[in-house]
Amino acid sequence: MSTLKVTVIDDHTLFREGLQGLLERHGIEVLDSVGDAEAGYVALQKRRPDVVLLDLRMPQIDGLQILQHLKGKKNCPPIVMLTTSDHEQDLVEALRAGASGYLLKDMEPDALVVALRSIVAGETVVAPSLTPALARVVQGHEPAPAKDEEAGLFDSLTPREREILILLAEGLSNRGIGNSLGISEGTVKVHVKAILRKLDVPSRVVAAVLAVEHGLAASKPAEDLQTRDE
């Protein structure tokens, strides 16, 4: 197994130092450990990690602003929010902004390491304790009204893509969607990729949240949505 390389951006020095020691004891190399946005930008220009660990609450420029800035750059590595905030709105905003994971600072070290390796492998991972919050957002019995600029968000989707997005929001895997619609799993994967591209979102989790928020789907329970195959 290759050595995982990370960059840490967090304004708390003691936490950074403790996290670096923890990661290194688990065979993970910390390329850079910095305390603000500017130092983070400089570090990422010099060296490319496999994943970035980013604090949510920071002075001057917060984690979401840094996330949005970095996701606009070419060849941006996966970015994981590592925070104390378990608020649903923070979770949703981070995922919508392109975070590949949302993890809590009090999680067990072994679980953190497993989550980071899963994220580098292409998965979107949410801290297990936040899965119910994610499910509530995806279920969304009272969807938030669409913003004017997002009113036509789904206009670019074909009727088939809309069908697939609705089933995706209900928590079905690609295989389950294919069985429901009488098409192959491979065809579903092609459609899902097209949906993510057209909606300009990084994962099926975010696509599902958008579908529910804008009233396209009223979801069934989806506790394991973040681990479904892409």
The residue type found at 194 is A
Token pair in block for residue 122: 């292409």
CA 215 vs CA 47, 143, 223, 226: distances in Å:
42, 6, 20, 20
| Residue corresponding to tokens 């019995």 | 141
pLDDT at 72: 85
Burial class of residue 25 (count of CB atoms within 10 Å of its CB; 0-12, 13-18, 19+): exposed
Q: Show Cβ contacts of residue 71 under 8 Å, excluding neighbours closer than 6 positions.
A: 79, 97, 98
For residue 117, what is the domain's CATH number?
3.40.50.2300
Residue 71 in 3-state DSSP? helix
Are residues 149 and 104 both part of a single domain?
no
- Is residue 68 one of the residues assigned to a domain? yes
Residue 162 in 3-state DSSP? helix
For residue 216, what is the domain's CATH number?
1.10.10.10
Token pair in block for residue 153: 């968000």
114-150 pLDDT, tens digit per residue, is: 999 999 988 888 888 887 777 666 655 443 444 444 4
Calculate mean pLDDT across residues 76-99.
90
pTM here is 0.64
Q: Are 221 and 174 in contact (CB under 8 A)?
A: no
- Is residue 131 one of the residues assigned to a domain? no
22-67 pLDDT, tens digit per residue, is: 999 999 999 999 999 999 999 999 999 999 999 998 888 889 999 9
CA 159 vs CA 42, 154, 173, 191, 194: distances in Å:
45, 10, 19, 11, 13
Are residues 12 and 99 both part of a single domain?
yes
Are residues 73 and 168 both part of a single domain?
no
* Side-chain-facing half-sphere of 137: CA atoms under 13 Å: 22
- Our count of domains for the chain comes to 2
Token pair in block for residue 39: 């130092």
Q: Crossing angle for the helix pair 63-71 and 88-96, nearest 10 degrees? A: 20
pLDDT band at 217 (very low <50, low <70, confident <90, very high): low
Maximum average pLDDT range among 163-167, 198-202, 217-221: 163-167
Query: Which alpha helices (DSSP H) does 72-108 contain, by range?
Result: 88-96
pLDDT at 132: 74
| Closest to 50 measured CA to CA, from 105, 5, 20, 18 | 5
Are residues 65 and 103 both part of a single domain?
yes
DSSP annotation of 121: T
pLDDT band at 215 (very low <50, low <70, confident <90, very high): confident
CB atoms inside a 10 Å sphere around CB 10: 24
Least confident of 9-13, 190-194, 222-226: 222-226
Could you tell me the residue range of the domain that residue 179 belongs to? 136-227
173-200 pLDDT, tens digit per residue, is: 888 899 999 999 889 989 998 998 888 8
pLDDT at 202: 76
| Residue corresponding to tokens 């506790």 | 223
Are residues 82 and 152 both part of a single domain?
no
